[in-house]
């Protein structure tokens, strides 16, 4: 990509979404900024890496961002991106309602609960529930089947309800 006007338009259309995705995934503004920079630098230096015949550029950028986030998280050794057995410490869903999660104080708790999800569940919540990507677009970004996105999202929401239920009862 060498046209500054085309690049600027593409950047302004997608950078905020990529930044917020990286921010939700990492919890760090510096990582979010680095990932956003790396994604668009990749477009500058390797424009051929995007093949328009394989889908829209939005999910492609999410996929690239996902890889950079994964690299950052693994570098920090805070968490293993795809490791199993990551649901340790979570609780079963209680029957009581969650209360009004749109209240400011509960939003912060919900944000923390999303951030505490295992990465493979967190990314589908961030993509589909927070950034309103379609299941198909999320599947393209993650490079998995649409059914996998659906099942991970279902599991992620169950985990979130469990976490929030626990917080409400503490």
Partner 1 sequence: MTKNEEELLAGLRALAANETSVPPASLEAALLKQLKRKRVISWPLAAEILAAVAIIAIAIHSRPTSSAHDDFVAVPYSTPIGPNERAELVRVNVPVLALAQWGLQVSAFDPGQRVNADVVIGEDGLARAVRLISNP
Instruction: List interacting residues with partner 1 (CB under 8 A).
Output: 1-2, 4, 7-8, 11-12, 15-16, 19-20, 23-24, 29, 32-33, 36-37, 40-41, 44-49, 93, 97-102, 106-107, 110-111, 114, 125, 129-132, 157, 160-161, 164-165
Q: Cβ of 71: how many Cβ atoms within 10 Å?
A: 13
Tell me whether residue 148 or residue 158 sits nearer to partner 1 (CB atom). 158
Strands (E), 11-151: none
Tell me how far, at minimum, the Cβ of 80 lies from partner 1, in Å: 25
Residues sharing a CB contact under 8 Å with residue 156, sequence separation 6 or more, in sequence order: 117, 121, 122, 124, 125
Tell me how far, at minimum, the Cβ of 25 lies from partner 1, in Å: 13
Q: For tokens 């912060």, name the residue.
A: 108
Tell me how far, at minimum, the Cβ of 50 lies from partner 1, in Å: 11
66 — phi, psi (to 5°)? Answer: -60, -45
Tell me how far, at minimum, the Cβ of 87 lies from partner 1, in Å: 17
């Amino acid at each position: 990509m060498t046209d500054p006007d085309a690049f600027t338009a593409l950047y302004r259309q997608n950078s905020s979404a990529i930044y917020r995705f990286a921010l939700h995934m990492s919890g760090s503004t510096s990582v979010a900024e680095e990932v956003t920079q790396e994604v668009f630098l990749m477009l500058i230096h390797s424009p051929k890496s995007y093949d328009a015949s394989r889908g829209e550029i939005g999910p492609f950028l999410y996929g690239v961002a996902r890889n950079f986030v994964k690299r950052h998280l693994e570098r920090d050794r805070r968490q293993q991106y795809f490791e199993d057995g990551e649901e340790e410490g979570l609780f079963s869903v209680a029957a009581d309602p969650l209360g009004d999660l749109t209240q400011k104080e509960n939003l912060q708790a919900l944000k923390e609960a999303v951030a505490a999800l295992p990465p493979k569940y967190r990314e589908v919540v961030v993509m589909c529930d927070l950034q309103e990507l379609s299941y198909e677009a999320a599947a393209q970004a993650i490079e998995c089947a649409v059914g996998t996105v659906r099942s991970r999202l279902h599991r992620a929401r169950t985990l979130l309800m469990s976490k929030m239920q626990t917080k409400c009862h503490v």
